[in-house]
C-alpha cells in the first residue's frame, strides 16, 4: 500500500453485517507529503546549507548561494507489461539547470527584489522560493516542491556578533564556549552536484557532496577534512528512492548536522523565519499523524552523534499563539528521539533541571519529575526551556540562545519502555547499527503528550509540525568521526477515526 497518496483500511463483512450490527469506525490514512513513500520516479530533491544560527552570512567563493535542487520528470515509455518492465527511450527532463544552482548574490533571477540582491541571507531564502517554482508539482490540497537535504555547521565565531541571542541582536563576546578555529569559521561549504542520470539496468542516480574546508578537493580523499554526501538511487518503476548519507567531521569542523527533511510547502519550516518550500502539502497536527520510514545505519558517527530516528520542528509563542515571524516572541519547538546507544540521559533525580517538569503517560496521567519512584528519567536525554520564558519552574535549564533565529525549546528522548505504545524503540540499540528496520511511529500521539512550556492561564497551542526529518547531529566530536546511513520509504501519514 505504500506509495499511494491515500488509502482506506476497510472491513468487508458481507451478509454478516445484519448479524453483527453497526461496525466500529475504522482508521483512515492519507499521506501529507507530495511523494508518499518516496516512490515517484520523477524526483524532487533540494539542498540547503546554514551557519550556526540558521543564516548564510557569507557565500563560499565560487559556489553561489548555498541552495540547489535536482528535479526532473521522465519522458518516453516506462511502464509495466505483464511481469516484465520495459523502458524504451526514457530520458530525464530536468527542471533546474546548473546555472540556476550556481546563482549567488549579485545575480538576478525572475521575481527577485532589488533590495535582496546583495544580502546573502535574504538571497538564499528567495533562491529557495525560485527553485521551488521550477520544481513545483500541482496537487491537492496544494502544490508541493521537494525533499530537503539540510546541512549545518555548528561553528560559532562569538567575536563576530552574527548570531542573535533569543532573537535579540547580541554584541560580540569572548570565544571559548563554542567551536571556532578563527575568523571565517562559519563559512559555507563547497558543493558538488552529480545531476541525476539513468545508468545501466534502468537505475537512476544522482547526488550532492562536498566539504567545509574551502581549499580541499574531495576527489583527492577525505582524510583530515570534513565531508558530506547524499546519493539517491532508484530503479525506474520500482520501489522507493534510497537516500545514502555520509557525514564526517574534522578538527576544524567538529560539530556538523545532516538531515533529510519533509518541510512545509509554504510558510515557515521549523527553525526558520523565512518562507520556505518543501514536501508537506498538508501540515501534520498532534495527535493525528504517524511517520513511516526504513532506516539502516551503517556507521554511527561516534559517541557524540545524536542520531535522530525522528526529529519534528514547530513554532508557537509562549502564550500559545502561532508564530508570525517576530523573532523576539516566536519560539522554535523540537522533539527528537536519539537512538545512539552511547547517548546517556542527562535527566536524573539529581539533575532535575535537565528534565521536563512532568511526564505524561499514554492514558494522560501526569508524573512530576520530583516523583522519583515513578518518573521515567532515563526516557529523556535532555530538556531545555525557551530562553524567553517568564514563568519557569525551578530548577530550569534554558536552551542555547544563539543557534536559532529565535528562542528554542528542546525535548530530547531516548529509547525506553515508556514510548512502547507509540511504536518507538524501547531499549538501547534498537534501530542502531546492524538493526535496520522499517518504523511506523505514532509521532502525533506521542508529541501530543510531551511537555512544552506555556505561560500560565493561556490557551493550549495547536501543535502543528511544519518539519519532519531524520539524520544526525555530531555534537563537537573529539576525533574525526563518520556517520553513514540509508533512508527510504519516508512518509507522513495523517490519521483519523
> Is the separation of the CB atoms in 434 and 442 below 8 Å?
no
- In this predicted model, what pLDDT tens digit does every residue of 375-387 receive, in sequence order? 999 999 999 999 9
pLDDT band at 27 (very low <50, low <70, confident <90, very high): low
| pLDDT reported for residue 270 | 87
The percentage of the chain sitting over the pLDDT mark of 70, rounded to a whole number, equals 92
Which residues have a Cβ under 8 Å from the Cβ of 282 and sit 6 or more positions away? 30, 32, 141, 494
| pLDDT reported for residue 80 | 45
* Chain-centroid distance, C-alpha 155: 20
Reading the block at residue 90, the C-alpha cell is: 526514457
User: Residue 5: is its pLDDT beyond 50?
Assistant: no
- Segment 464-480 shows an average pLDDT of 97
User: Residue 408: is its pLDDT beyond 70?
Assistant: yes
Q: Is residue 1 part of a domain?
A: no
User: Residue 209: is its pLDDT beyond 80?
Assistant: yes
| pLDDT reported for residue 200 | 85
User: Residue 78: is its pLDDT beyond 90?
Assistant: no
What 127-132 contacts at long range (C-beta under 8 Å, 24+ apart), as own/partner pairs, is 127/65, 127/67, 127/103, 128/46, 128/48, 128/67, 128/274, 128/276, 128/277, 129/275, 129/277, 130/100, 130/103, 131/46, 131/67, 131/68, 131/69, 131/71, 131/96, 131/100, 131/277, 132/46, 132/277
pLDDT band at 400 (very low <50, low <70, confident <90, very high): very high
Element (H, E) at 68: strand 67-81
- Segment 402-424 shows an average pLDDT of 97
Query: What are the b/e assignments for 73-108, b being 16+ CB within 10 Å?
Result: ebeeebeeeeeeeebeebebebbbeeebbebbbeee
User: Residue 291: is its pLDDT beyond 70?
Assistant: yes
- In this predicted model, what pLDDT tens digit does every residue of 293-305 receive, in sequence order? 999 999 999 999 9
- Burial class, 117, CB count within 10 angstroms (exposed 0-12 / middle 13-18 / buried 19+): middle
* β-bridge mates for residue 244, sequence order: 231, 486
- Segment 241-253 shows an average pLDDT of 98
* Number of domains, the chain: 1
- Segment 335-352 shows an average pLDDT of 98
| pLDDT reported for residue 87 | 57
User: Residue 19: is its pLDDT beyond 60?
Assistant: no
| pLDDT reported for residue 176 | 84
The residue segments making up the domain with residue 212 are: 6-496
> Is the separation of the CB atoms in 8 and 28 below 8 Å?
yes
- In this predicted model, what pLDDT tens digit does every residue of 99-123 receive, in sequence order? 999 999 999 999 999 999 999 999 9
Three-state DSSP at 170 gives: coil
Q: Is residue 211 part of a domain?
A: yes
Q: Is residue 461 part of a domain?
A: yes
Within 10 A of 253 (CB to CB), how many other CB atoms are there?
A: 26
| pLDDT reported for residue 437 | 97
- Segment 268-272 shows an average pLDDT of 89
- Segment 43-59 shows an average pLDDT of 97
- In this predicted model, what pLDDT tens digit does every residue of 428-464 receive, in sequence order? 999 999 999 999 999 999 999 999 999 999 999 999 9
- Segment 356-367 shows an average pLDDT of 97
| pLDDT reported for residue 17 | 33
Which residues have a Cβ under 8 Å from the Cβ of 359 and sit 6 or more positions away? 366, 367, 369, 375, 376, 379, 380, 418, 451
pLDDT band at 419 (very low <50, low <70, confident <90, very high): very high
Q: Is residue 298 part of a domain?
A: yes
What's the angle, vertex CA 89, arms to CA 86 and CA 95, rounded to 5?
A: 110
Amino acid at each position: 500500500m505504500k506509495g499511494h497518496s491515500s488509502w482506506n483500511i476497510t472491513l468487508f463483512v458481507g451478509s454478516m453485517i445484519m448479524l453483527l450490527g453497526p461496525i466500529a469506525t475504522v482508521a483512515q490514512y492519507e499521506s501529507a507529503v507530495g511523494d508518499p513513500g518516496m516512490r515517484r520516479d520523477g524526483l524532487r530533491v533540494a539542498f540547503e546549507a546554514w551557519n550556526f544560527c540558521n543564516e548564510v552570512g557569507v557565500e563560499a567563493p565560487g559556489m553561489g548561494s548555498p541552495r540547489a535542487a535536482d528535479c526532473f520528470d521522465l519522458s518516453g515509455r516506462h511502464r509495466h507489461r505483464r511481469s516484465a518492465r520495459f523502458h524504451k527511450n526514457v530520458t530525464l527532463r530536468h527542471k533546474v539547470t546548473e546555472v540556476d544552482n550556481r546563482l549567488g548574490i549579485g545575480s538576478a533571477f525572475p521575481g527577485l527584489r532589488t533590495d535582496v540582491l546583495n544580502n546573502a541571507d535574504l538571497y538564499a531564502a528567495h533562491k529557495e522560493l525560485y527553485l521551488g517554482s521550477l520544481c513545483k508539482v500541482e496537487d491537492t490540497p496544494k502544490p508541493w516542491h521537494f525533499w530537503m537535504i539540510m546541512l549545518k555547521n555548528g561553528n560559532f565565531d562569538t567575536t563576530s556578533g552574527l548570531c542573535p541571542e533569543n532573537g535579540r541582536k547580541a554584541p560580540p563576546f569572548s570565544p571559548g564556549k563554542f567551536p571556532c578555529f578563527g575568523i571565517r569559521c562559519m563559512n559555507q561549504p563547497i558543493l558538488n552536484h552529480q545531476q541525476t542520470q539513468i545508468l545501466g539496468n534502468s537505475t537512476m542516480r544522482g547526488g550532492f557532496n562536498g566539504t567545509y574546508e574551502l581549499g580541499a578537493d574531495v576527489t583527492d580523499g577525505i582524510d583530515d577534512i570534513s565531508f558530506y554526501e547524499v546519493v539517491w538511487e532508484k530503479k525506474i518503476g520500482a520501489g522507493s528512492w534510497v537516500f545514502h548519507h555520509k557525514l564526517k567531521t574534522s578538527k576544524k569542523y567538529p560539530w556538523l548536522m545532516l538531515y533529510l527533511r519533509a518541510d512545509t510547502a509554504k510558510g515557515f519550516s521549523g527553525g526558520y523565519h523565512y518562507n520556505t518550500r518543501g514536501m508537506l502539502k498538508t501540515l501534520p497536527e498532534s495527535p493525528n499523524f504517524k511517520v513511516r520510514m526504513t532506516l539502516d545505519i551503517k556507521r554511527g558517527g561516534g559517541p557524540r552523534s545524536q542520531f535522530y530516528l525522528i526529529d519534528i520542528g514547530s513554532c508557537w509563542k509562549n502564550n500559545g499563539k502561532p508564530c508570525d515571524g517576530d523573532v523576539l516572541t516566536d519560539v522554535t519547538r523540537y522533539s527528537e528521539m536519539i537512538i545512539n546507544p552511547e547517548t546517556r540521559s542527562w535527566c536524573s533525580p539529581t539533575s532535575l533541571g535537565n528534565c521536563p517538569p512532568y511526564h505524561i503517560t499514554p492514558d494522560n496521567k501526569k508524573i512530576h519529575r520530583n516523583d522519583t519512584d515513578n518518573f521515567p528519567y532515563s526516557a529523556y536525554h535532555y530538556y531545555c526551556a525557551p530562553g524567553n520564558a517568564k514563568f519557569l519552574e525551578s530548577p530550569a535549564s534554558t536552551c542555547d540562545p544563539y543557534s536559532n533565529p529565535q528562542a528554542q525549546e528542546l525535548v530530547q528522548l531516548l529509547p525506553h519502555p515508556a514510548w512502547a505504545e507509540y511504536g518507538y524503540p524501547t531499549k538501547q540499540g534498537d534501530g542502531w547499527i546492524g538493526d535496520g528496520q522499517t518504523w511506523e511511529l505514532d509521532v502525533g500521539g506521542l508529541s501530543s503528550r510531551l511537555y512544552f512550556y506555556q505561560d500560565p492561564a493561556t490557551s493550549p497551542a495547536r501543535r502543528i509540525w511544519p518539519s519532519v526529518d531524520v539524520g544526525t547531529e555530531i555534537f563537537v566530536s573529539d576525533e574525526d568521526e563518520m556517520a553513514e546511513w540509508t533512508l527510504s520509504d519516508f512518509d507522513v501519514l495523517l490519521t483519523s477515526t
